Amino acid sequence: MATIAKKIKKRVIFILFGFTAMFLFLTVKLFFIQIINGPDYQQKAMEQWTRDVPVPSRRGIIYDRNGKELVTNAPAYQIYVRPVEVSDKEGTASILGNILGMDKDALVEKLSAKKDTILIKQKVDSEIINELRAMELKGLIYIDESKRFYTQSNFASHVLGFTNYDNQGQDGVEATFEKYLNGFPGRDIKMTDTYGRELPGSDRKYYEPQDGLNLVLTIDEVIQHFTEKAIENALQENNAKTTMAIVMDPKTGDILSMAVKPDYDNNNPRKIPEDFADNWGTMSLKEQYDALFKIWRNPIISDNYEPGSTFKVITSAAGLEEGVVKPDDKFYCSGYAEVAGHKLKCWRYYKPHGSETFVEGVQNSCNPVFIEVAQRLGREKFYKYIKGFGLGNITNIKLLGEAAGIVRNVSSIGPVELANIAFGQGISLTPIQLITAASAIVNDGYLMEPRIAKKLIDKDGNIIHDFKPRMVRQVISKDTSYTMRNILESVVNNGSGAGAYIPGYKVGGKTGTAQKAEGGRYVQGRYVSSFLAFAPANDPKVVVLVVIDEPSAGSYYGGVIASPVVKSILFDTLRYLDVKPQYTEEEAEMLMKEKIIVPEVRNIKLKEAKKLLSQNKLRYRLEEEQGEPTEDSIIIDQTPRADSKVDEGTIVILYAKPKE
């Protein structure tokens, strides 16, 4: 009996020890589950019980300066699926593939995923959603969102930019003002059962999304239309690589229009470029992106170029401000200037301008005159104004990818480099830098920061932030500015800028024709033609810059092909802004007379052209292409162009070269 009792006692102790050990183990396990890992298990449980659905915020609308909608939000949907609720996965995938244009196998994979919900597609139009709803497909969930809609497709495309599939700005003002436009998404949190049904009596929380702010630009929709139409025509007529234009208010720095052609459709920015359509599928992703980036890139702010003769306005303003030159100072052009043993030619090398005043030198765009002005200034003083006008630094316009230009260090500038810079070679700018500097010259010397955005407003129209005009510095005096306006007006009235003359309006301007450089050498036959103008000259309301890159339809002179584009933009803009014309007595008399139709004189001899113009009561001024022109020289271009309607006595500028 004692032996049996001992065995029982041992078994009881063993069982008691086992239960004690198990209890301790369970206690420790529960401690780890509830205390140590409790938050993790609680989070997992919450994920099973709750459904947290994001509620997209409404992206801010973009307006022009007058409240016209340029960018808004179109109704669209996200399509999700709950795989567990889809019984016929093959059939559902086939239907979705046909309607949504998606791969069936990829859809089958999504419909078979071991997840509660999975995204099928974003940015789906409401018409497609209505079609799917009518089919009553099980397991599909439709969530309201919106997609970006550009009201005029490719209108101001390089200014506006575009968004990605998540409605985040990728370029243009969509990117630079992303933090204001995007807003903050909301949440819809509810308790659900295994089947995703909301539990009755559960605590549901809904957090309202915070809509983005609306952006008001300085762009004027009407002036933008004028600009785009003019440069589109110039692109086609001149068979150019690129045409671009900016219209700026010199007093505020407001960009009234900014256009580049060719452009792209903001609603479909990733459309395959026509030039790459045949081999797009064989290109790498990087090559495809690079091809698209070339289309998205805004050359007005991102591309440096040698401005040529338009830069002479900088040289002129600096020389007048420093007092090293006066309007009536005498110069002599022998066709070239000798600088440190180098012969730097005037564009009229074969028929020099001879004796001329400084004003006439500007009208004639005579290189030796500007070389001498720069020499009188010296490199330190000249560079003071180059930097003063903001060249070599970004303008701080609120757009992505702005370049600073290429301005060499003053210590590396020798006599030849100084002379070249004087007439716009050996220095590179962006178009936005040039028009900003030119605006300062005609705006009493005040350099204004270019402004693309006016203000941010909420949905009720309340101003949240006002982007006020900002003056950077005064570069030249009011007196110098006044003198420059008069000189540049004379360039249009009596000089190379005659193509921009508008009766009743005082227009000032400067032509530019620059040979393109590549690999440290100038490339024959590749030019950048430009024209810079402002009006009215006595009280400038707008400044216009037109740049035509690589024209290849014959003429490449800025005074021939760019000045008519500027004239068109200026004329339409001034009338739109209700700037009243003020006709001189001579202009008023001309308006009463019947217009003269300019005859075609290209490809005929000079003597025949002179006779034909005289018969039509028109005058002429000869500009030779090369060599010394004779009566048998061939006219290769003219401005105004044939069939233009002009007043009696209008000067027709002829470009000639010797008969071969």
Q: Same domain, yes or no, for 6 and 109?
A: no
Give the bridge partners for 356, in sequence order: 331
Q: Is residue 389 part of a domain?
A: no
Structure tokens at 133: 């709803």
pLDDT in tens, 73-86: 888 788 888 888 88
Q: Same domain, yes or no, for 14 and 83?
A: no
Give percent helix, percent strand, percent coil of the chain, each to the nearest 5.
40, 25, 35
Question: Which of 6-10, 197-201, 541-545, 621-625 is modeled with the greatest confidence?
Answer: 541-545
Q: Can 309 be counted among the known catalytic residues?
A: yes
270 Cβ neighbours under 8 A, 6+ residues apart: 292
pLDDT in tens, 310-369: 999 999 999 999 999 999 999 999 999 999 989 998 988 788 889 999 999 999 999 999
Residue range 419-443: average pLDDT? 96
pLDDT in tens, 415-426: 999 999 999 999
More confident residue, 463 or 614: 463
Q: Is residue 94 part of a domain?
A: yes
Q: Same domain, yes or no, for 62 and 186?
A: yes
Residue range 523-541: average pLDDT? 93
> 467 with 455: CB under 8 angstroms?
yes
Q: Same domain, yes or no, for 19 and 110?
A: no
Cα separation, 168 vs 166, whole angstroms: 6
Residue 628's pLDDT band (boundaries 50, 70, 90)? Answer: low
More confident residue, 517 or 626: 517
pLDDT in tens, 573-622: 999 999 999 888 777 777 777 788 889 988 888 888 888 888 888 888 77
Res 361: pLDDT: 95
Q: Is 293 helix (H, G, I), strand (E, B) or coil?
A: helix
Q: Is residue 88 part of a domain?
A: yes
Q: Same domain, yes or no, for 67 and 91?
A: yes
Res 660: pLDDT: 53
Give me the CATH number covering residue 597.
Answer: 3.30.10.20
Neighbours of 275 (CB within 10 A): 11
Q: Which of 2-6, 94-98, 290-294, 519-523 has the lowest mean pLDDT?
A: 2-6
Residue range 110-118: average pLDDT? 79
Residue range 270-299: average pLDDT? 88
Structure tokens at 480: 């110098």
Percentage of the chain beyond pLDDT 90 is 51
Res 203: pLDDT: 66
Residue recorded with tokens 């040289």: 315
Q: Is residue 154 part of a domain?
A: yes
Does an H or E element contain 31, and which? helix 2-31
Mean pLDDT of the chain: 87
| Angle subtended by helix axes 563-576 and 221-237, to nearest 10 | 160
564 Cβ neighbours under 8 A, 6+ residues apart: 499, 500, 639, 640, 641
- Alpha-carbon radius of gyration of the chain: 35
Structure tokens at 366: 């005579």
Q: Same domain, yes or no, for 203 and 58?
A: yes
Q: Same domain, yes or no, for 83 and 192?
A: yes
Is the pLDDT assigned to residue 257 strictly greater than 80?
yes
Q: Final residue of a domain: which of 216, 236, 259?
A: 216
Cα separation, 505 vs 583, whole angstroms: 7
Res 594: pLDDT: 73
Q: Same domain, yes or no, for 63 and 198?
A: yes
| Angle subtended by helix axes 478-494 and 312-322, to nearest 10 | 140
Residue range 407-419: average pLDDT? 93
Amino acid at 573: T
Q: Are strands 242-248 and 255-261 parallel, antiparallel or unpaired?
A: antiparallel
Q: How many domains does the chain have?
A: 3
Q: Is 232 helix (H, G, I), strand (E, B) or coil?
A: helix
Q: Final residue of a domain: which of 216, 248, 268?
A: 216
Res 14: pLDDT: 77
Res 167: pLDDT: 83
Amino acid at 233: N
Cα separation, 238 vs 241, whole angstroms: 9
Q: Same domain, yes or no, for 209 and 151?
A: yes
The residue segments making up the domain with residue 97 are 52-216
Cα separation, 346 vs 153, whole angstroms: 46
627 Cβ neighbours under 8 A, 6+ residues apart: 350, 657, 658
Give the DSSP letter of residue 184: B
Q: Is residue 67 part of a domain?
A: yes
Residue range 420-444: average pLDDT? 96
pLDDT in tens, 143-195: 777 788 999 989 999 999 999 877 889 999 999 999 999 987 777 666 665 55
> 443 with 204: CB under 8 angstroms?
no
Amino acid at 61: I
Is the pLDDT assigned to residue 69 strictly greater than 70?
yes
More confident residue, 319 or 644: 319
Res 200: pLDDT: 66
Cα separation, 600 vs 643, whole angstroms: 7
Q: Same domain, yes or no, for 16 and 103?
A: no
Cα separation, 316 vs 334, whole angstroms: 20
Give the bridge partners for 339, in sequence order: 342
Cα separation, 152 vs 34, whole angstroms: 60
* Nearest Cα residue to 181 out of 148, 206, 152, 158: 148
> 317 with 486: CB under 8 angstroms?
no
Cα separation, 320 vs 373, whole angstroms: 9
More confident residue, 35 or 600: 600
Give me the CATH number covering residue 142.
Answer: 3.90.1310.10
> Phi, psi at residue 369, to the nearest 5°?
-60, -45
Q: Final residue of a domain: which of 186, 216, 246?
A: 216
Give the DSSP letter of residue 626: S
Q: Is residue 149 part of a domain?
A: yes
Question: Hey, what's the torsion of the CAs at 371, 566, 433, 269, to 10 degrees?
Answer: -140
Q: What's the distance, Cα to Cα, between the start and end of the chain in Å? A: 141
Q: Are strands 214-217 and 62-63 parallel, antiparallel or unpaired?
A: parallel
Residue 429's pLDDT band (boundaries 50, 70, 90)? Answer: very high
Res 474: pLDDT: 98
Q: Is 114 helix (H, G, I), strand (E, B) or coil?
A: coil
Residue of 57, 157, 257, 309 with catalytic role: 309
Phi-psi region of 340 (alpha: psi -120 to 50; beta: other; left: phi over 0): left
Q: What pTM value is reported for the model?
A: 0.81
Q: Same domain, yes or no, for 94 and 59?
A: yes
How many residues are present in the chain? 660
Is the pLDDT assigned to residue 515 strictly greater than 90?
no
Q: Is residue 618 part of a domain?
A: yes
Res 604: pLDDT: 87
Q: Is residue 103 part of a domain?
A: yes
Res 401: pLDDT: 92
Q: Which of 139-143, 178-182, 217-221 has the lowest mean pLDDT?
A: 139-143
Q: Is 30 helix (H, G, I), strand (E, B) or coil?
A: helix
Q: Same domain, yes or no, for 12 and 144?
A: no
> 419 with 371: CB under 8 angstroms?
yes
Q: Which of 13-27, 100-114, 440-454 has the lowest mean pLDDT?
A: 13-27
Percentage of the chain beyond pLDDT 70 is 92
Structure tokens at 451: 């402004």
